[in-house]
Amino acid sequence: MDHPPDRTDRWQTGKVIVVACPGQGSQTPGFLAPWLELDGVADRLGAYSEAAEVDLIAHGTESDADTIRDTRIAQPLIVAASLVTLAALESRAGRRADGIAGHSVGELAAAAGAGVISDADAMRLVGIRGRAMADAAAAAETGMSAVLGGDQEAVEARLAELGLSPANYNGGGQIVAAGAMPALAALAEEPLRGTRVVPLQVAGAFHTEYMSSAVETLRDAVAGVPASDPQVTLWTNRDGSVVTDGRTALDHIVDQVSSPVRWDLCMASFADRGITGLIELAPAGALTGLAKRGLRGVPAVAVKTPDDLDAAVALLNGDAK
């Protein structure tokens, strides 16, 4: 992706805006339609479709919820949407954000946004990732459920008791459990006191040992991809730390397929570094919701459609009211 030059080193000025790239489950039917009204987006999505081996325009405008729930389709759709949004945002703002992070599959969009890999490689890798994770998920009947509220240690103990794994630590009192469907059903039937269990619209136990075969497939694919060091601050879901080496960033993205997503630690790192705003790329909503609980007082803009770009540009350029 060609990026506009930075206007200044915002880390030194106290105005620090981070872009967040969402993960699987954030897609909704037709969500790409308004983006196709922007100049150049149809051509960009056509190229992305070829790289990912998925018809992004058809699935992003016409396919129903069940169709785009398919991991093979959902993951490329989400990464493509984030890249389209980021290009539009940077073009209008005339600069890049000061940092970037992705949640789960959103880490591929973040890697491209940080200049670690090209958009084309991000889309090729997400196509491979989606197919490999779908194949791994097909080997066993598994799923994921969000556990809202409760004490973290108590939730972890209950999951272990049921043979479930914590797949996402999302912060704001939310842990996503993953594993066999009967165990998830038992969790929902007898939730811990003070918690609520919400089944997620994903087709497998992602970020657990069930995905081990997908890890090896993605590792092989990544081996031949050129990687540059990040050109903006880039966080990893591995432990919320900042990663400064491009090859290390890709290695973490591969390992993350079968390891828990630590978005809670990413948000803690955002706070420690004193960020002053967060912009979530399309298909947006989930991460800004988490930010309201985990980054209290930090303005957050969800860019769902092009109509939201003005607010995002204002935040990025320090002009937000």
Q: Given 26, 49, 82, 104, which residue is catalytic?
A: 104
Q: Tokens 């939310």 appear where?
A: 174
Of 210, 306, 207, the C-alpha closest to 256 is 207
Select which of 145, 207, 258, 259 is catalytic.
207
> For residue 90, what are the contacts with CB-CB under 8 A and spacing of at least 6?
3, 4, 96
Examine the residue annotation and report whether 207 is marked as an active-site residue of this protein: yes
Q: Whole-angstrom Cα distance, residue 236 to residue 250?
A: 10
Rg (CA), the chain: 18
Distance of CA 3 to the CA centre of its chain: 20
Measure the CA–CA gap between 45 and 61, rounded to whole angstroms: 12
Q: Which tokens sit at 173? A: 């009192």
HSE-up of residue 82 (Cα within 13 Å, Cβ side): 39
Name the nearest CA neighbour of 74 among 88, 89, 64, 84.
64
Beta bridge partners of 110: none
Paired sense of beta strands 174-180 and 277-280, if any: unpaired
Q: Which of 234, 255, 237 is nearest to 245 (CA)?
A: 234
Whether omega for the bond prior to residue 283 falls within 30 degrees of 0, making it cis, is: yes
Question: Nearest CA to 250 among 229, 292, 222?
Answer: 222
Identify how many contiguous H helices and E strands the chain contains and give both numbers: 13, 10
**Coil, strand or helix: which one is 33?**
helix
Name the residues annotated as catalytic.
Answer: 104, 207
